[in-house]
Amino acid sequence: MTTRASGRDNGRPTTERVQSIFATLAPDYDRFNKLSSLGVDRSWRKRTVSMARLNRNSVVLDLAAGTGDLTMALAEQGKPASVLSTDFVPEMLDVAREKAAAYKGPTRIDFTAADAQDLPFEDESFDVVTIGFGVRNLPDRAANFREVHRVLKPGGRYVVLEMSRPPFVPFRAVYHSYLHNVIPAIGDKVTGRRDSFEYLRDSILQFPGQVALAGELHKAGFREVTWRNLTFGIVAVHVAVK
Interacting residues with ligand SAM (CB under 6 A):
18, 22, 64-66, 69-70, 87-89, 92, 115-117, 132-134, 137-138
CB of 168 to ligand SAM, least distance (A): 25
| Min separation Cβ 35 and ligand SAM, Å | 14
Give the C-alpha separation, 64 to 41, whole Å.
16
Say which DSSP state 118 is in.
B
Helix H or strand E segment including 201: helix 194-206
Based on CB atoms, which residue is closest to ligand SAM, 6 or 196? 196
CA atoms within 13 A on the CB side of 183: 19
- In the complex, what is the shortest distance from the CB of residue 122 to ligand SAM, in angstroms, rounded to a whole number? 18
Instruction: Count CA atoms closer than 13 A to 205's CA, side-chain side.
Output: 25
Nearer to ligand SAM, 89 or 151 (CB): 89
CB of 88 to ligand SAM, least distance (A): 4
Task: Quote the CA–CA distance of 44 and 39 in Å, as a whole number.
Answer: 10
Strand partners, 236: 162, 229
Q: Which is nearer to ligand SAM, 65 or 237 (CB)?
A: 65
Shortest Å distance, C-beta 223 to ligand SAM: 25
Tell me how far apart the alpha carbons of residues 167 and 97 are, in angstroms, rounded to a whole number: 37
In the bound state with ligand SAM, the residue whose beta carbon lies nearer, of 66 and 184, is: 66
Smallest gap, in angstroms, from Cβ of residue 200 to ligand SAM?
Answer: 8
Q: Which is nearer to ligand SAM, 110 or 224 (CB)?
A: 110
Please identify the residue of the shown chain whose CB is closest to the bound ligand SAM: 66
In the sheet that 108-113 helps form, which strands lie side by side, from edge to edge?
108-113, 82-87, 59-63, 126-132, 152-163, 235-241, 224-230
Shorter beta-carbon distance to ligand SAM: residue 99 or 171: 99
Nearest of 51, 49, 91 to residue 72 by alpha carbon: 49
